[in-house]
Amino acid sequence: MRPELNRAPRLSGKSCLVTGAGQGIGRSIVNAFLADGAAVVATDRDVTLLDDLRAHENVSIALMDVTDVAAVNAVALANPGIDVLVNCAGWVASGTILDAAEEDLSRSFAINVQSMANTIRAFLPAMLDRQDGAIINIASVVSAGKAAPNRFAYATSKAAVVGLTKSVACDFIGKGIRCNCISPGTVESPSLEQRMRALGDLETARAAFIARQPMGRLGTTDEIASVAVLLASDEARFMTGSDIVIDGGMSL
């Protein structure tokens, strides 16, 4: 759980949209943004995962498949005042280059990279009109700087997220737009547990994932969300094009 805030909310007055908000890092970012005073549009392709948020007065729910350009544009049209866009939806494909099917690579790019291009294209024009906006992309430490076994398609696509982030930051640096990314290490989440269970022995798989973390534990979704709050806030107005690695020393 996040510690009790003993300061003024950092995101008061900001309207933020989060993709992949149904669970894991996306849900923790929604919770952290709300705790820091933001109004949040929580999106997911499965809106049933967002049902428990419907009663919150500062949350709007939107069905959105980030790979569907028409759906993304419709949500952007309905929410023209978004100050902070968080691209969190993603997919992890397993396998080496010899194991991965062509579909694995194309799906990884569609969900992990093209989806971010879709949302940025949709929400950026209104940000440019206001000369103000923050974009936060969830990349991975398994990308441009470090590989991991059996993550060919995933690492390739997440490396592209880092490049996408820096390109958007560079192109709009003088127009009030900031674009940064977060590269987590191994984080405890429903997605990770699903992958561990798929290996057949949950505890053995968990021990293997923990073993590659020098701190001796998995990260938490709340720890990633805390970094997202910083990047969304005015405290980070001098930051753009940054790739913040939060991986428990995995990449050292």
Q: What are phi and psi of 111, to 5 degrees?
A: -85, -40
39-44 β-sheet, strand order: 59-63, 39-44, 15-18, 84-87, 133-138, 177-184, 243-246
Catalytic hit among 123, 152, 154, 172: 154
- Is 154 one of the annotated active-site residues of the chain? yes
Cβ neighbours of residue 162 under 8 Å, at least 6 residues apart? 139, 143, 144, 181, 183, 243
Helix (H, G, I), strand (E, B) or coil at 70: helix
Q: Angle at CA 38, nearest 5°, toward 37 and 40?
A: 140
> What is the maximum span of the chain, computed from C-alpha positions, in angstroms?
52
Q: Name the residue among 177, 176, 178, 183 with its Cα closest to residue 160.
A: 183
Question: Hey, which residues does 16 pair with through a beta bridge?
Answer: 40, 84
Active site positions, annotated: 154
